[in-house]
Structure 1
């Protein structure tokens, strides 16, 4: 049974420019700063963010896209396209530093823009967050096996 009940998704912070030219930082709202406790013990985290540039209804009704790279037309669930029914981005990012008191998490590898709302941060656990044997379509096979560190 499909439900059409609304969900209350809130922003816990925002992406901003870091002092370092290659990094970004997450500015966490004061009420969520205690949730950062222990995050500095991890090298990486997963960041869920709202792709606000593509949140309009027209984008959210799109179900298939023609990727900007050498690939066939595919359903949005078979892509990392920002155009999707729920414009939620997911990035694995390296943790550079965590300041719980100020609510600042400096990260590398986040593919979001300054001003992007942050929905959640999850610690990266290799035992549950990586897969040893994967399959990708031919058009994505040359992209490499690992993210840059």
Structure 2
């Protein structure tokens, strides 16, 4: 099997100082033109789960309260997966192109998590007007904005 190498472009800072994306100096020029986007897609590395022992786990015991008793890992958003890659859509609060720092309100990544890529969120390519989801999660919010006020603690079994 072919192996692929990923090069982090920076880190996700997620601590008491807030949520920031801090790019490595050599990647700062790639931010040119990003200022007009309200949202971004972030590709990041579940670095705490990169160990080989996690990469062979292919199912999960009911991670969500109303879900089936056992689920394939690809039907979850678990950090435990064959390739610990995460994708998050985030709102942009501010961009400092000179310093290579973007401020975001929230992300479920740990502090110092490797940031792999940034892509602009564009509704014409990324938005699905009427997505279909299983009945066990049909009551979840319909948007990122609605998710902010949703009690997610009532949904997970961990």
**Structure 2 portions without partners, runs of 5+:** 149-158
1:129 to 126, 134, 144: 126
Instruction: Find the aligned partners of 1:26 and 1:96 in 2 and give their Cα distance.
Output: 11
Does 2:54 align with 1:59?
yes
Tell me the SS of whatever aligns to 2:144: coil
Task: Report the TM-score, using the length of structure 2 for normalisation.
Answer: 0.86
1:32 to 27, 30, 37: 27
Instruction: Find the aligned partners of 2:22 and 2:79 in 1 and give their Cα distance.
Output: 22
Which residue of structure 1 lines up, in the alignment, with residue 151 of structure 2? none
Instruction: Find the aligned partners of 2:15 and 2:51 in 1 and give their Cα distance.
Output: 28
Does 2:43 align with 1:43?
no
Aligned residues of 1:12 and 1:117 also touching (Cα < 8 A): yes
Moved over 6 A (4+): none
Deviations 1:113-136 (A, max 9, x none): 211000000000000101112111
Does 2:84 align with 1:94?
no
Pair 1:33–1:145, CA change in 2 (3 A): same
Aligned residues of 1:92 and 1:109 also touching (Cα < 8 A): no
Q: How far is the alpha carbon of 1:69 from its aligned partner?
A: 2.2
Deviations 1:4-53 (A, max 9, x none): 11111110000114776xx4001100000000111111000000000011
Does 2:125 align with 1:112?
no
**Structure 1 portions without partners, runs of 5+:** none
Pair 1:129–1:104, CA change in 2 (3 A): same
Instruction: Find the aligned partners of 1:26 and 1:60 in 2 and give their Cα distance.
Output: 26
Deviations 1:33-85 (A, max 9, x none): 00011111100000000001111111100111124321121111111111100
Task: Report the TM-score, using the length of structure 1 for normalisation.
Answer: 0.91
